[in-house]
Amino acid sequence: MLFGQRSGQRRGRRSVAVKGEDLETETTLSLEEAYHGTTRLIRLNGQTIRVTITPGVADQQMLRIAGKGRAGTSGGPNGDLYLTVKIAPHPEFQRMVNDLHCVLPVELYTAVLGGKTQIKTLKGKVTVDIPKGTPNGKELRLRGLGMPVYAKKSECGNLLVKIDIVLPEHLSEEEMNLFGKLAALRK
């Protein structure tokens, strides 16, 4: 034996299993798609991968799709695919974590006298009670009408509705006189 090796024996090299390379890509969703959940077909490396995106996914959230990266060598596992989700801006709603914020135009008369008005949410239309004497800029909290909490089926954030009082335009002479009388009564 020379240097700890037996004469006449050769040590064969074993191939070492190596995991495949991870891949990264991104996709953009509308706020509605992030709210309801969706699927995307991702074309990468000559293959098409169907990815199911859970409701409530956040902007810039990275999803790991196991085994959808490059092939491993010598029997090693495939790499993973990392998908960064971007959420496009919405014209009516702003998202803050799981809460949604929007502005609701309300007529002066409804703000003063109180009443009901319809508002569009990502769940559909709902009726909102406007309390008597609602000030401009007041925020109403509609529980459970915000974004779904990611990976928690029955939890949702809130919808925060900021009241924007709309003053009447093109008042008639009679309406102006009535506002004058109201102003005199307030003094």
Question: What tokens does 130 get?
Answer: 């406007």
Output Rg (C-alpha) for the chain, integer angstroms: 30
d(CA 23, CA 63) in angstroms, rounded, equals: 12
Within the chain, all domains assigned CATH 2.60.260.20 are found at: 23-87, 94-175
Report CA dihedral (145, 146, 147, 151) to the nearest 10 degrees.
-70
Print pLDDT tens along the chain (187 aa): 444 555 555 555 668 889 999 999 999 999 999 999 999 999 987 889 999 999 999 999 999 999 999 999 988 999 999 999 999 999 999 999 999 999 999 999 999 999 999 999 999 999 999 999 999 999 999 999 999 999 888 899 999 999 999 998 888 999 889 888 888 888 8
Please give the pLDDT value at position 175. 86
Closest alpha carbon to 85 in 34, 125, 45, 141: 34
Q: In this structure, are residues 37 and 84 in contact, taking their beta carbons and an 8 Å threshold?
A: no
Residues 63, 150: Cα–Cα separation, whole Å: 12
Query: In the prediction, which pLDDT does 24 show?
Result: 95
* Superfamily name with CATH number, domain 94-175: Urease metallochaperone UreE, N-terminal domain (2.60.260.20)
3-state class of 6 per DSSP?
coil
Q: Residue 20: which of 83, 81, 76, 82 has the closest Cα? A: 76
Cα 83 to the center of its chain, rounded Å: 16
Q: Which CATH architecture has domain 23-87?
A: Sandwich (2.60)
